[in-house]
Each structure stands twice: as C-alpha cells, then as structure tokens.
Amino acid sequence: MSEKRAEEFERLVRTHQSALYRVAYRLTGNRDDAEDLLTEALTEAWSAFARFQTEDGFVRWVATIMTHTFLDWKRKANRIDWVSLDNPTPEEDDEGEGGWDIADENADPEAVAMRRQFWRDAQKALGDLPPEFRAAVVLVDMEGLSYEEAAQVLGCPIGTVRSRLHRARAMLRERLKHWLQEP
C-alpha cells in the first residue's frame, strides 16, 4: 500500500475513532472487549483498505466489519463457557465504562446516582439481548442507520432487521419497565 493511502487510513481512524469505539462498546458492553473488537476490525480494514472507495462511508464500512467480527465471536463463545476473572460484573463496576462524566456542580447527587444506575441497567439489558438483536439495536437505534443499511451490514433481509428490532425493543422495554413507570 502506498504511503499516501496509509496516511489516509490513519487520518480516517483518528477522525472517527470515537464513533468506532462507541459502536464497539455498545456491541460488547465492556471496555476491554470493545478495544479488542476495534483493534481486530481495524486490522481487517487495514488489510482491505485498497478496496475502500469513499471517505463518507468509513465508519459504516468499519462498523460492518466490526459487527461481523462481533457476531463471529459470539457464535464461537457460545461453544465455550468462559468466566472472566479480571472484568467486574456490571453490579460491581462503578467506573461507568464507555462514558465520560463531566462534573455538574449544580447537579443533585440523587439525580446523578439515578442517571448512572439507569445507564448501568440499560447497558446490562442491551448486553442480555441475543447478539443479532443487539447488533440491530446498536446499528439502527443508536448509530442511526436506516433499516436498509442495517440489513446490508448484517447480511439479512430488511424484514429480518425489522423483526429483530421489534423483538429487541420489546425485550428492552420489559427489562427496563421499572424505569418507565411513573413514581
């Protein structure tokens, strides 16, 4: 690959690294796996960069690679029982992985605690979804892809994307219903 293409790849990665990490984190649910997924996807993107055509689709292109890699990982992981000894469970994790907190001196401590708990519960609910459902929610509801674009990324018909989204949203509503009820 030419030096000019290598510089272009590096520039695109630097420009879009936050968006790419966000997709990886939402798919995996934790910082370490997100970093591994992003590294693997960027390695694959680097090796295929000669075929990449337009700058506008870089995030979508890498997200496609990332989604396929994530689904492959999940398929392989379903065959093996893994127990992580170095990653805390979501209940033990007080770091707020994947987000950046900016201090608000006027914030009510109770409201801040409630907001953090909601996002922990939401991330856990998202992580509990089947991988194909989670990928559809991340791509459409969180990253703003159209149903058609998500269908291309996931390699399935639009109807399947719609069905997965419908079922995933119902599952998320059920798991988060205690947050949706008025006090």
Q: pLDDT for 108-143, tens place per residue?
A: 777 777 778 887 888 888 889 999 999 999 889 888
Question: Which range marks the domain in which residue 109 is found?
Answer: 3-180
Tell me which residues of the chain have a pLDDT lower than 70: 1, 55-56, 77-107, 182-183
User: pTM of the prediction?
Assistant: 0.59
Which pLDDT value is given to residue 117? 83
CATH code for position 62: 1.20.140.160
Least Cα distance to 8 among 64, 52, 71 occurs for 52
Separation CA 159–CA 163 (nearest Å)? 6
Separation CA 40–CA 48 (nearest Å)? 13
Which pLDDT value is given to residue 11? 92
Which pLDDT value is given to residue 165? 94
Which pLDDT value is given to residue 170? 94
Which pLDDT value is given to residue 109? 74
Domains of the chain: total = 1
Which pLDDT value is given to residue 87? 47
Which pLDDT value is given to residue 55? 59
b/e per residue 12-33 (b: at least 16 CB within 10 A):
bbeebeeebbbbbbbbbbbbeb
Which pLDDT value is given to residue 158? 94
